[in-house]
Chains A and B, each alone.
Chain A
Amino acid sequence: MRCRVCSREAQEQPQSKYCEPHQKAYETIQKKSEVWKKASSIEWKEYLKEVAKNPLTGMWAREVAESLLSEKE
């Protein structure tokens, strides 16, 4: 299976849609979504948009956020 973002080999253990770096970024995105929700009362999609446009967001995290946004659309 290939990573949804960069087409590298996806992580096998644990099974994932992403390669190792993008999986790590995905986990951070998920973990931080609760903090954002509590802080600004925003929903998942809005949160992803904010993460994708924030200049402080890391490159891999931005790529995952953009990929998740395009999936939903």
Chain B
Amino acid sequence: MEKYTLIVTEKPDAAKRIAEALDLNGKPKKAEEKNVPYFLAQRDKPLVVVPALGHLYTVVHETGRRNYYPVFNFKWAPRYVAERGAKQVKAWIEVISKLAENADSFIDACDYDIEGAIIGYTLLKYACGNKENTATRMKYSTLTKEELEKSYSEQMPHLDFAMIEAGKTRHEVDWLYGVNISRALTLAANRYSGRYATLSTGRVQGPTLKFLVARERSINSFVPTPYWSFMAQVEIEGKKYPVDYQKRIIERKADADTVVEVCSGREGTIEKIEEKKMQITPPTPFDLGSLQSEAYSLFGYAPRRTGNIAERLYLDALISYPRTSSQKLPPIINYRAILNGLSQEPSYKKLALDLLGKEELRPREGSKEDPAHPAVYPTGNRPERVLDESERRIWDLVVRRFMAVFGEPSVKQSIRAAINVNGHYFYLRGRHVLKEGWMKYYKPYLRTEEVSLPPIKEGEPVQLEQIIREDKFTQPPPRYNPSSLLKRMEAEGIGTKATRADIIETLYSRKYIAEERIVVTDLGFDVIDVLRQHAPSVISVKLTRDLEQKMERIQSNSEKREKVLEEAVYRLKPVLTELKKHEMKIGEALSSALKRARVQERTIGECPSCHTGKLMILFSRRTKKRFIGCTNYFSKACRTSFPLPQGGTVKPAGRLCKGCGWPVLFVHVRGRRPWNLCFNPACPIKEERRKRLEMQGLQSRGSGTTTEQIL
């Protein structure tokens, strides 16, 4: 068999695109073995492009049992060794190893970042038989044909070993922290209560949960302060306009009453009209964090969702590599070619041509840089398939932001007229856009409101039509949402652009936090209390950031991996000794938190009959069936009960039924689509549905069709 070059990629979609771009006819042959796809292409020589499935190798405990700590000896091993759900990885590695046997050269074409570097390195080293030192590297930021061809012809002579070292260290340090502290917590709870439940924390997870607990504490201890303001209106030429009082906040009720008393129904005079022009510079290009944040505020997408959508758009060669922290758009990406491409899309044609008409295209850039990739930008390609709504939205956002950064500054005008009413000043405000500039490209996503004013002159009398005192209170600190939490993590310098969104999801899945506007659960509080008391360094933001910076320095060759690992172990050892010493006390605290969490998980709400008990998901030892019952059920004080489906999982959905206001349950039976269930037998929605079905039944009988046929 003729020898070939084996190109390893990160995902199947990327492998397909690379094979299509490099094949001379653009039509590589698809092959498959053990359900693992790979592509055969022909260029200057035969190429085989094989994908990984994300990480195929991971850090595992070198030897020994799972249920003890501390553990400091580790090795890299196939993921199926460590994870029960990763069986398909075995076939994947076997196929890659087999393909490697007939290859005479190797190219790493995984994404150019820390995770991609590790995926490619471990594959070449372990699956391909120590080919990491002879392999070359393709570096690209988009999966367009032009860029892939260029990166193939201008391959880097070797892998980026500094990036690999940084990636390995990050995985190994995270493993050391995650495994040891999580085992310490899990075993403490297990040994105290005899019940098993996974309790986890990690190097970044702990400090992140600490922010949330600190915010929750402030909210829970919050006492609002009263203050007063006014809702006032003036009348000009028969039309009413809202005006603001000179002070936004009045701290004493008596002072607010005085203002109402002396100004009510009075005529005032326009004393001064001030006009201001403001130049608003275009926004900066998107890095991953700002894209996630904008998508959250505009569409309500959680950061991880935006990350996944952006990843799909990247694999479709519609946008550049999204996991970037850069806010720079270097000229090498070819602005004009991208705009030319976008001008083929009817909805962007006018805007793109408008920019192409400019003599010089210079983007506004932000300060953040990323050595591996530029900011997120559209490739100029048009979708080859129908994008779903969320994909379309994110693509549109990236396209419009890209165009906006080349726009002129916009100019806004604000007008403020000061009206003197009996010695008190009220301000009439207007604002409008004088020059659209970059705003025309980003229009659908702007939140500006135009306020027009009537023609007014200084010295004119104006009637204060209405003044109402408004009683207000200061608000508690806002709860974090996934987007604001991600921003905080970024600002604190903990985690990486690739891991932050996943860490937030882990906090949800461990039940340390709940809801969209994040609420810390009792379990979350108790985990942080335990760590604060016995392992404060594990949740220290400063120490975490410090370690983070050291790992970053490995990438620039100014720090050694061994030194960082040694330091991590040195820091962990006393923490683990302390945790072991207080194991029973920690176990007691965590077990009771887990117990409370389990009860909370089954609690549905107040009993509608007795109003003293709570409705819970209960289990009857006699019938061996689960049902909803009042907590007073077994004491026979309240016999309220409702039947439940016996298969699958049932839990409170955390919302109320639109028809009757009773709590709704979430039911998930394996193999079926999950559904929401209102357990109120007298729910009007159920009644309506029943009547509708009856009507349908009658109609079908009338027309000679049977219900079975309708169903």
A contact set with B: CB distance below 8 Å: 21, 24-25, 28-29, 32, 35-36, 38-41, 51, 54, 56-61
Contact = CB atoms under 8 A, between A and B. Distances in A.
Contacts of B226: 36, 39-40
Given A38-B251, A39-B253, A57 B227 contact: no
Contacts of B475: 56
Contacts of A35: 225
A contacts with B: majority SS: helix
A39 B251 contact: yes
Interface in B467-516: 473-476
A21 B217 contact: yes
B455 interface: no
A39 B227 contact: yes
B10 to A, nearest CB: 46
A58 B251 contact: no
A41 B217 CA distance: 29
Contact of B223 (A28, A38, A39, A41): A28
B252 interface: yes
B222 to A, nearest CB: 4
Given A38-B252, A39-B251, A61 B473 contact: no
Interface of B: 217-227, 251-254, 473-476
19 contacts: A21-B220, A24-B217, A24-B221, A25-B221, A25-B223, A28-B222, A36-B225, A36-B226, A38-B252, A39-B226, A39-B252, A40-B253, A54-B224, A56-B474, A57-B222, A57-B224, A58-B222, A60-B221, A61-B221
B588 to A, nearest CB: 12
A51 B223 contact: yes
A32 B221 contact: no
Given A24-B217, A56-B473, A39 B225 contact: yes
A57 B475 CA distance: 9
B569 to A, nearest CB: 32
A59 B396 CA distance: 43
A57 B253 contact: no
Contacts, number: 56
Given A39-B225, A56-B222, A59-B220, 17 more contacts: A21-B220, A24-B221, A25-B223, A28-B221, A28-B223, A32-B225, A40-B226, A40-B253, A56-B224, A56-B474, A56-B475, A56-B476, A57-B222, A57-B223, A58-B220, A58-B476, A61-B223
A35 B223 CA distance: 11
B252 A61 contact: no
A29 to B, nearest CB: 6
Contacts of B221: 21, 24-25, 28, 58, 60-61
Contact of B220 (A38, A54, A61): A61
Nearest to B218: A58
Contacts of B218: 58
A22 B221 CA distance: 8
Nearest to A60: B220
A3 to B, nearest CB: 14
A54 B224 CA distance: 8
A58 B253 contact: no
B217 A32 contact: no
A16 to B, nearest CB: 14
B470 to A, nearest CB: 14
Contacts of A57: 222-224
A41 to B, nearest CB: 8
B706 to A, nearest CB: 55
Closest 6 A-B residue pairs measured CB to CB?
A58-B222, A25-B221, A58-B220, A56-B224, A60-B220, A32-B223
Q: Kindly name the residue among B217, B221, B226, B475 whose own CB sees the greatest number of chain A CB atoms within 10 A.
A: B221
Nearest to B255: A39
A35 B225 CA distance: 7
